[in-house]
Structure 1
Amino acid sequence: MTDPLVTDPGLYRLLFENDRVRVLEYQDHPGDATHLHAHPDSVMITLGSFRRVITAGGRDVDVALEAHQVRWLDAQQHQGRNVGDTDTHSIFVELKESTGAAAVPRIGPSAS
């Protein structure tokens, strides 16, 4: 997998990471473009309205999103270009592979 933090370090910033998720912030300006990179299954939160062309699998897709939307994104490899007149600003919550065991949350002290 081509890590966007490696391909586009000026556009992506790591906000948080643990063994279950990685949270990235993405910001660009009109005319900016990313290199080919990949994301695992992710949740994207748009912080501003923007318009981009996403290129994946030999296809170009025009994407226009409003601020404060939450979208599920299947794992994918793509590159993008800001074709609008506003900055792109988004948060990506990338999911890591499941550990296979369901954890039982503990709230407060154990009652044994």
Structure 2
Amino acid sequence: MDDPTVTDPGLYRVVFENDRVRVLEYRDEPGAQTHPHDHPDSVMITLSSFRRRVSLGDEERELELPAGQARWLGAQRHSGHNTGDSPTHVFFVELKEPAQNSSGTTVLGPV
């Protein structure tokens, strides 16, 4: 598992962690790209509006999200590219406990 704070330490930082969750802050500027990395099941909270391309293997999705949203993200491995003209600022609340009833379905980007 590739930790985003290791693959992209200039973009991700841990702001809180205990035995049940880890909270990451993510900030970037237009044009910034991340290396492939993994997230467990998480809640993403958008603090800024942004546009980006999220890639999972051969699959890509263009996303445009407003500020002030909370979105569920199933566990996934992806990379991202800020394709907009504004910085991105989000928090990820990563769950450390495995899902009780996992369907095994991976969703690309925020749902």
Q: What TM-score comes out, normalization by structure 1 length?
A: 0.86
Matched residue type, 2:13: R
1:35 match = 35
What RMSD over aligned residues (CA atoms) do the two structures have, in Å?
1.1
- Structure 1 alignment gaps of length 5 or more: 101-112
Larger Rg: 1
1:48 match = 48
Matched residue type, 2:85: D
1:76 match = 76
Matched residue type, 1:15: V
Q: What TM-score comes out, normalization by structure 2 length?
A: 0.87
User: Identity across aligned pairs (percent)?
Assistant: 64
2:7 match = 7
1:86 match = 86
**Once the 2 structures are TM-superposed, how far is the Cα of residue 57 of structure 1 from its aligned partner?**
2.8
2:104 match = none
Count of aligned pairs between the two proteins: 99
Matched residue type, 1:29: E
